[in-house]
Structure 1
Amino acid sequence: MHGSGTPGKDTARADIATRTLKISMVVTIIIGIVELVFWKLSENEIFLIEGIGNLAWMVPDLVMLYTLGISSRKPDWSMHYGYRRAETIFLLFFSLIVAGLMLVLLHGALTGPQEPLPAEYGPATILLSLVIIVVLAFLGSYVLEVGRKIKSRLLILDSLVIRMDAASAVILLASGIFLVIMPSFHLIQIFLTVLVGLVLIAYCFNEARHAVTELLDANPSQEVSNLIEMIAEEVPEVRFVSDQRLRSFGGAISVDITIETDPDMTLREAYRIASGLEARIQSGVENVIEARVRVNPAGTYVEKEMGMQEDGTQH
């Protein structure tokens, strides 16, 4: 078993996620283009960095959109996580490339000729920044709502990125305000430019770190382990979770769990409990590719531990 969803529901869920991600991408592309056009007019390099960042991150979004389409066609699970690993490798290198580009832009901003920005673009900077903040706030809320509704981790993460972009736009707003009240104090503009660049660089390195962690097949987090144990303990017949082993590879999680139940339970009942728990774990925990549940009679773990202690005492 690989989850309890039906093909029709899975297809509809993928269609909703795809449509929402496309809307997010189109809005972000438009904002990126507007920012680059305004940079050309105002010579404000903060808009250059923001515009390049918005347009550059459309590349991994397109890759995610492609892999989302692949997963909706239901390949076997090893293929699905094979595609995901290829996507992770791509994201790792792309993050490092964008971080390098941001460093080059920051170097140019710090070492180039320091000239005051055209003060007449101050009010326009404020107005454009406010529009960008409002649009991104509504977009982030919409994507988050859809992501929670269809339980899409991809959309929830995308909404987080959108909100981070809205936070960066606040720096654009600050830039416009300082252009109005202190147009000749260009050191503030340099500071704000560096701040935006550092935020984007930090985001790139964070994405690269997550990619490396996934590629190294790091063990699942303690939160995942706690969630699996909680799901098991919610089954009335389960008296004790005696063992839990989790393995991760390429983002996929394999679960091997041992539970203890009534010693007088029939084999049929034990099979029913194990099968039901496997299905609940796979549907309730993200990225579980395989779940195996072993059933022992209550007291097995205690007897085993006592036996090991007796053997140790004899030796």
Structure 2
Amino acid sequence: MNQYDKYKEGEKGAWLSIITYLVLACVKLLIATIGNSAALRADGLNNTTDVIASVAILIGLKISRKPPDADHHYGHFRAEMIASLIAAFIMMTVGLHVLSDAIQTMFTGEFQPPSMLTAWTALGAAIVMFAVYLYNLRLGKRTNSTALKAAARDNKSDALVSIGAFVGIVGAQFQLYWLDPLAGALVGLIICKTAWDTFSEATYTLTDGFSPDEAEDIKATIEKEPHVLQIKDIKGRLHGNQSYIEVTIYVDPDMTVKESHKITDQIEDILKQKHDIPHAHIHIEPFVEEDKGQSN
């Protein structure tokens, strides 16, 4: 499966999230109004932001599938990260709003017991969202989509949010009315935490962050090539769901251009097979003794 097919496959998870969130948001907000539950209302508002975030991710995945053009020589893969960034801002805005409303309710002391119908609605929604989480998690790993993995984390947090709402509503049935708005406040905090995690991952990728551990694994793989006498430098960056690698290696100075080129082809093939790296730039330099002293 090539990179463009992976993005197309990832769109299935985005569509599943959109449809699920849309249905759950409508059901939760309606039942919360009827059953008078602050926690379920907050959970429903959370799902409305998830609809917007999932739409942003879907658009990002579609744009990422566009091939390179005159203005984008490396393609449009980073559109996925921009979509994640937009989703993070939306989630943070609603999370702060939900948190503010819940805290205000707790301090005013205007508590009213919610209906148990709202509790069963929250529990049912948690089961549905956990199933969506498992599907998107597997799909995100298979397609190596950062946006889809972020969506899966959001799915999981939504399932936990609904469980929290269920606990708060059940507690309110035992005269612990403050548990319902407290659950709403916890929902707000979870939304903000999820937004921050999504924002951090997107900005890390957009600023060309790359895991040092992954760079070391790639370096160890290249060092196994018998014609590589030494690695002078290795750099990596993420471009959507792809890793781009630049490596400078030392080889025997008596090698011909043809022989050196063959080595670079072998390294590129190994990196693609073992590390799923579709693009690697291998720079060849002749090995001399003073180079060894300079690189240490």
Partner of 1:260: 250
Contact kept? 1:241, 1:259, Cα under 8 Å = yes
Partner of 2:283: 294
Runs of at least 5 residues in structure 2 that lack an aligned partner in the other structure? none
Calculate the TM-score normalised by the size of structure 1: 0.77
SS of 1:241 mapped into structure 2 = strand
Partner of 1:48: 41
Pairing of 1:30-41 with structure 2 (within 5 A): 30-41=23-34
- Bigger Cα displacement from structure 2, 22-31 vs 139-148: 139-148
Counterpart residue identity of residue 80, structure 1: H
Residues paired across the two proteins, number: 293
- Distance in 2 (CA, whole Å) between partners of 1:230 and 1:219 is 20
Contact kept? 1:82, 1:250, Cα under 8 Å = yes
Q: Deviations over 1:2-30 (max 9, x none)?
A: xxx6xxx5554333221232012211221
After superposition, the Cα gap between the structure-2 partners of 1:22 and 1:72, relative to the gap in structure 1 and judged at 3 Å, is same
The structural deviation recorded for 1:267 is: 2.5
Contact kept? 2:85, 2:199, Cα under 8 Å = no
SS of 2:178 mapped into structure 1 = helix
Counterpart residue identity of residue 44, structure 1: S
Q: Deviations over 1:258-305 (max 9, x none)?
A: 22345554422220221343465467668x79632122455x4x5324
Partner of 2:264: 274
After superposition, the Cα gap between the structure-2 partners of 1:223 and 1:32, relative to the gap in structure 1 and judged at 3 Å, is farther
The structural deviation recorded for 1:111 is: 3.8
1:163 paired with 2:153, answer: no
- Distance in 2 (CA, whole Å) between partners of 1:83 and 1:148 is 19
1:114 paired with 2:110, answer: yes
1:205 paired with 2:201, answer: no
Contact kept? 1:96, 1:205, Cα under 8 Å = yes
Percent identity for Structure 1 against Structure 2: 18
Counterpart residue identity of residue 104, structure 2: G
After superposition, the Cα gap between the structure-2 partners of 1:13 and 1:138, relative to the gap in structure 1 and judged at 3 Å, is same
Partner of 2:83: 87
After superposition, the Cα gap between the structure-2 partners of 1:64 and 1:276, relative to the gap in structure 1 and judged at 3 Å, is farther
The structural deviation recorded for 1:134 is: 1.8
- Cα RMSD between the aligned structures? 3.3
Q: Deviations over 1:180-236 (max 9, x none)?
A: 4x1x22122232222222111222233334444455x25322133224324423545
Runs of at least 5 residues in structure 1 that lack an aligned partner in the other structure? 310-315
Contact kept? 1:91, 1:211, Cα under 8 Å = no
1:226 paired with 2:216, answer: yes
Contact kept? 1:220, 1:247, Cα under 8 Å = yes
Please point out which of 276, 280, 293 is paired with 1:306. 293
Larger radius of gyration, structure 1 or 2?
A: 1
